[in-house]
Structure 1
Amino acid sequence: MYLPTHFAVTDPEALHALMRAYPLGALITHGKGGLDADHLPFEFDAGEGEHGVLRAHVARNNPLWQEVTDGQEVLIVFKAADGYVSPNWYPSKQEHHKQVPTWNYAVVHAHGRIRVRDDARFVRRLLASLTRVHEAAEPKPWKMADAPRDYLEAMVAAVVGIEIEISELVGKFKLSQNKEPSDRQGVVDALQERGQGALAESMQRRPS
């Protein structure tokens, strides 16, 4: 990934926050069939390993878990809100017209080594954890015990767990840090007017 210094983010807390807020990661692997990508909701455990551990599950019918080997290097890409930026949003454009279109975004690349966990206890524990996190905001959170036991056991048997020990986290937050404060504010205002509040808020959180 091309990473100019002014867009590089190395603060672990900022990287972890993005991964937790946008847990659907693109898992990129290279198996027998060549390059492939699977989009999976990940659980991130910062307390295990040097850089943390990612856990997810795939359908048993998904060939991924049979094509990768334990210890194989993989890449997971997490992406936050993104959006187009028009030159017209910069106040300075009206003065000298020296602006061009661009795209703002924030991503984290997690490099690591994958391990297949074809283990019902691992899968059940992972599913319970993911459910607790993502049901927490519901008025009446669904829990695994709500489903009939035989149905739930069949669902658990139909998936396979994967675990990735992270070896490196690389963050790129391209949020107009290379622009003058007035131009950054112009972009924030335009994004908010267009209903892209999440991206505007990301820009406001990042220092110039």
Structure 2
Amino acid sequence: MYQPPAFKETRRDVLLEAIAKHPLATLVCNTADGITANHLPMVVDGDKTQLHAHLSRGNDLYQQCEDGVEALAIFQGPAAYISADWYPGKQEHGKEVPTYNYVVVHVRGKLHFRHEASWKLHHLKSLTDMMEYGRATPWSLSDAPADYVARQLKGLYGLELEITEMAGKWKMSQNRKDADKLAVAEKLNQEGDATAVDVAAIIKKDL
């Protein structure tokens, strides 16, 4: 991933926090049949050295790849289009162009496949607890009948990505003057949607 110094993010805690907030990943693997990509939520394990996920047994990734194959998980955070019209310089000299602000995290690692019922059960509990946190009536895995859960477990397998490298890119107007950042943040807040507001908040942190 191309990382200009202004946009490069290396702090592990910041990268892991972004993954926790935006857990849907694009998992890219190289198989004998070529490159394949799967889209699935991934959760950071307890000691923060692995990412855990699961797939349906109908998805034959575990047959396409050898255990321990190198894989890349890509997480996309908040993103928004930035109009050139928003910069004060547009009115002064017109020498502005639009751009796109975004947050992205790349995680490389060795992919392992897990088929043990105990591993899958623990993973699903961790995943659902994370996703349900803060809800008025959070759903728990224990809400479903045990025999039903057991049948569901047989229809899936686990993924364990052993983290070897993490890279982040926060392209959030860091290369612009404060006046430009303030103008962009104001316009994004006026847009009103949740993602635009999130991008505005990240930009204003740099002021």
Q: Percent identity?
A: 37
CA shift for structure 1 position 33: 2.4
- 1:90 pairs, out of 77, 82, 87, with 87
1:1-208 equivalences in 2 (<5 Å): 1-45=1-45, 47-48=47-48, 52-195=49-192, 196-205=196-205, 207=206
**1:183–1:202 distance in 2 versus 1, CA, 3 Å:** same
**Equivalent residue of 1:165, what SS?**
strand
CA offsets, 1:155-208, max 9 Å, x none? 111110010111110111000101000001111111111122111112222x26
- How far apart are 1:133 and its partner, in Å? 1.1
Quote how far apart the aligned CAs of 1:32 are.
Answer: 2.6
Report the Cα distance in structure 1 between the residues aligned to 2:146 and 2:17, rounded to whole angstroms. 35
Aligned residues: 204
Question: Which has the larger displacement, 182-191 or 38-47?
Answer: 38-47
Deviation at 1:116, TM superposition (A): 0.5
Between 1:63-72 and 1:181-190, the stretch displaced more is: 63-72
* Separation (CA, whole Å) in 2 of partners of 1:186 and 1:53: 40
TM-aligned CA deviation for residue 46 of structure 1: 6.2
Give 5+ residue unaligned stretches, structure 2.
none
Q: TM-score normalized by structure 2?
A: 0.95
- Runs of 4+ aligned structure 1 residues displaced above 3 Å come to none
Secondary structure at 1:14 match in 2: helix
SS at match of 1:145: helix
Any stretches of 5+ residues in structure 1 without a counterpart?
none
After superposition, the C-alpha distances for 1:8-46 in whole angstroms (9 at most, x for unaligned) are 011111111101110111101111321111111111136
Q: Check 1:99–1:46 CA distance in 2 against 1; reply closer, same or farther (3 A cut).
A: farther
Q: Secondary structure at the match of 1:111?
A: strand
Give the Cα–Cα distance (whole angstroms) in 1 for the partners of residues 94 and 63 of structure 2.
55
Root-mean-square deviation (CA, aligned residues, Å) is: 1.2
In the alignment, the residues of structure 2 paired with residue 174 and residue 151 of structure 1 have an alpha-carbon distance, to the nearest angstrom, of 45
Tell me the secondary structure at the aligned position of residue 188 of structure 2. Answer: helix
Distance 1:171 1:144 in 2: 33
